[in-house]
Structures are given as structure tokens and as C-alpha cells.
């Protein structure tokens, strides 16, 4: 993986807490860079939301190539997903959960509107596949610009998308990787249940650490497999 000037893996996190453990293996620059398990790695803290995420990843890639992009962070679990706080899973598929149009009969996605999101062959609409799987357990991830805040809305999104995990950046980063022709993976630790907001029950620090530990284990295993 990688090139003489590039990095083997660009890791994108939304916040400092989601990259704190990884940063300890790298230098203190921004973006932090160094070697993990013999792989050249760069860590970019993108900021929250899809625009911040896409801009930060694109800015890095405009200056330095990467052989792969990995998203690491926390997310909420939709009702019916079978996920518990502290679980870690990676994305099999990423979904733009609110990109489309509202109507009297419900949500209208980009395919129904007739506008591809990624001009691939075949074209991609709200759903985008991933091809790197940094942990064994997989699910459908959904990105929304507005975090879901009620049990009813969470159940409706789960029914409409088949989603297991909700975040605010994943689709934008997967989209960016696809536009750059990069293999992409995403893993998240579950910090809370999606639904009626109860911040007192959230375990963000623990979920962030669990996701980073899983990513470190994958980097070690993938490096060992190539030796």
C-alpha cells in the first residue's frame, strides 16, 4: 500500500476524543502522522458534520496521496439493531439518510428523484458500498445532518433504511473516498441508543476507545498478513 510520498492509511475522526488513542502512536502535528504496525498512517480530525468531513479529507488528499481511507468514531444504535452500548462494528453499506426530498407521502430518495450522487457504473444514489472491513461484525450505517431525537423517528428511519448505526459524517467520507478511487472502511463504537435523548446514559469516551482499539488490532493483523 501507499507510495513514496503518500500514506498507507488516512484515518478520519470527527473529534479529538475519537482519535485520542490513535494520536498517542503518532506525532503531535495536525494532521498527526507516523507508523502503526509498520504502516504509514495519517490522522485527520475533520470536525463534526458532512461538509467538515468531506472538506478535511479532500484537503489532505489534495496535498498527499493515500492508499486507503478509514473512518473511525462513535455512533448511535437504531432500535431493533441488536446493538448494545460498547459494541463495535464496521459498515457494510453507508446510507445518506436525509438526502432527498420530503413529500406528503413520505421521504423521496435520490434514485426516485433521478439524481445520482456518485456517477459510477452503475450509478450510486443514497446507498454506497464499502470494501474494507476493520472488524468482524458488520452493519448498515446511516448519516444524518440532524441527529435523530425521538423513538418514533428512530423506528421510522430503521424501517426505511434498514440502518443499524447513525452518525453525522460517514456518508460524506465514504463518498469522498469513492470519488478519489480509494478503498474505504468505517468502524464505530456504539455510544448510545438512537431515540429519545438521554445524555446521561451515553458512553462516548468508552465507545471511542473501543473503536480505536479495534482499528489498531486490524492494522496489526493486516500488517502481519503481508509479512
Domain CATH code at residue 164: 3.40.50.1580
Nearest-angstrom CA–CA distance, 112 and 102 = 12
Hunting for cell 485527520 — which residue is that?
Answer: 44
CA within 13 Å, CB half, 55: 6
Cβ contact 211:72 at 8 Å: yes
pLDDT at res. 227: 61
Q: Do the domain assignments include residue 97? A: yes
Low-confidence stretches of the chain (pLDDT < 70) are 1-4, 227
Nearest-angstrom CA–CA distance, 148 and 132 = 27
Q: Do the domain assignments include residue 214? A: yes
Q: Do the domain assignments include residue 3? A: no
**Cα dihedral angle (81, 86, 89, 91), rounded to 10 degrees?**
70
Q: Can you give the residue range of the structural domain that contains 92? A: 9-226
Q: Do the domain assignments include residue 84? A: yes
Q: Do the domain assignments include residue 190? A: yes
Q: Do the domain assignments include residue 158? A: yes
Q: Do the domain assignments include residue 182? A: yes
pLDDT at res. 1: 42
How many C-beta neighbours within 10 Å does residue 133 have?
Answer: 16
pLDDT at res. 34: 95
Q: Do the domain assignments include residue 4? A: no
The total number of structural domains in the chain stands at: 1
Amino acid at each position: 500500500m501507499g507510495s513514496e510520498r503518500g500514506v498507507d492509511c488516512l484515518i478520519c475522526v470527527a473529534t479529538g476524543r475519537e482519535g485520542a488513542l490513535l494520536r498517542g502512536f503518532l506525532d503531535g502535528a495536525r494532521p498527526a502522522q507516523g507508523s502503526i504496525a509498520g504502516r504509514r498512517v495519517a490522522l485527520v480530525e475533520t470536525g463534526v458534520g458532512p461538509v467538515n468531513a468531506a472538506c478535511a479529507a479532500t484537503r489532505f488528499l489534495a496535498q498527499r496521496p493515500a492508499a486507503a481511507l478509514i473512518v473511525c468514531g462513535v455512533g448511535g444504535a437504531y432500535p431493533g439493531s441488536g446493538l448494545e452500548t460498547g459494541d463495535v462494528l464496521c459498515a457494510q453499506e453507508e446510507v445518506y439518510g436525509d438526502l432527498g426530498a420530503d413529500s406528503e407521502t413520505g421521504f423521496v430518495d435520490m434514485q426516485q428523484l433521478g439524481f445520482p450522487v456518485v456517477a459510477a457504473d452503475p450509478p450510486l444514489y443514497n446507498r454506497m458500498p464499502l470494501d474494507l472491513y476493520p472488524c468482524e461484525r458488520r452493519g448498515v450505517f446511516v448519516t444524518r445532518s440532524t441527529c435523530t431525537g425521538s423513538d418514533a423517528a428512530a423506528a421510522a428511519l430503521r424501517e426505511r433504511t434498514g440502518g443499524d448505526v447513525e452518525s453525522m459524517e460517514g456518508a460524506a467520507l465514504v463518498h469522498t473516498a469513492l470519488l478519489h478511487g480509494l478503498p474505504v472502511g468505517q468502524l464505530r463504537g456504539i455510544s448510545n441508543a438512537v431515540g429519545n435523548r438521554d445524555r446521561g446514559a451515553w458512553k462516548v469516551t468508552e465507545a471511542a476507545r473501543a473503536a480505536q482499539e479495534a482499528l489498531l488490532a486490524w492494522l496489526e493483523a493486516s500488517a502481519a498478513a503481508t509479512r
